[in-house]
């Protein structure tokens, strides 16, 4: 399946798509020193959120998908050098609204969980309908 959304995203910061199918996506984030929040190598949560958000967008995989809201939990800290794999699953589709569950795991251990409310718009968010 081909990637149809977020084509210009910086994958070094938001993760690499590994798997893509109808209503599902997997994104792998290799954490790097630029993501560190402190001298001990704690990865800033914003990078984890970005990868999870990107995974949600790929799960919907529509050129005009946007994020409306997210409810997330950071369950375990991530250290620079670790790899987190995010798996997105479409759980609801009603009209233009899509609900995507995203789970992030490091070596099989859950470190992130979120529910993303996405919207598929008729045109790009910056274009008039």
Domain ranges of the chain: 11-120
CA atoms within a 13 Å half-sphere pointing along the CA-CB vector of 115: 6
Please give the pLDDT value at position 43: 98
- Kindly give, in sequence order, each residue whose CB lies less than 8 Å from that of residue 125, ignoring residues fewer than 6 positions away: 64, 66
98 SS3 class: strand
The pair of structure tokens assigned to 3 is 């990637």
Rounded distance, CA 14 to CA 86, Å? 11
Query: Which of these, 116, 121, 123, 129, lies nearest to 59 by C-alpha position?
Result: 116
CATH number, domain 11-120: 3.10.129.10
- From first to last of the 129 residues of the chain, give the pLDDT tens digit: 899 999 999 999 999 999 999 999 999 999 999 999 999 999 999 999 999 999 999 999 999 999 999 999 999 999 999 999 999 999 999 999 999 999 999 999 999 999 999 999 999 999 975
Please give the pLDDT value at position 1: 81
Please give the pLDDT value at position 129: 57
Instruction: Identify whether the C-beta of residue 63 lies closer than 8 Å to the C-beta of residue 71.
Output: no
Cα dihedral 8/93/96/102 (nearest 10): -30
């Amino acid at each position: 399946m081909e990637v149809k959304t977020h084509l210009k995203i910086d994958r070094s910061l938001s993760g690499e798509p590994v798997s893509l199918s109808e209503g599902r996506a997997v994104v792998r984030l290799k954490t790097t020193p630029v993501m560190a929040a402190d001298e001990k190598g704690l990865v800033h949560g914003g990078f984890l959120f970005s990868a999870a958000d990107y995974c949600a967008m790929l799960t919907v995989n529509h050129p005009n998908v946007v994020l409306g809201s997210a409810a997330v939990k950071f369950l375990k800290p991530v250290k620079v050098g670790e790899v987190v794999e995010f798996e997105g699953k479409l759980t609801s589709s009603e009209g233009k609204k899509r609900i995507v569950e995203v789970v992030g795991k490091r070596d099989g251990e859950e470190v992130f969980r979120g529910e993303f409310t996405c919207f598929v718009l008729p045109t790009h968010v910056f274009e008039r309908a």
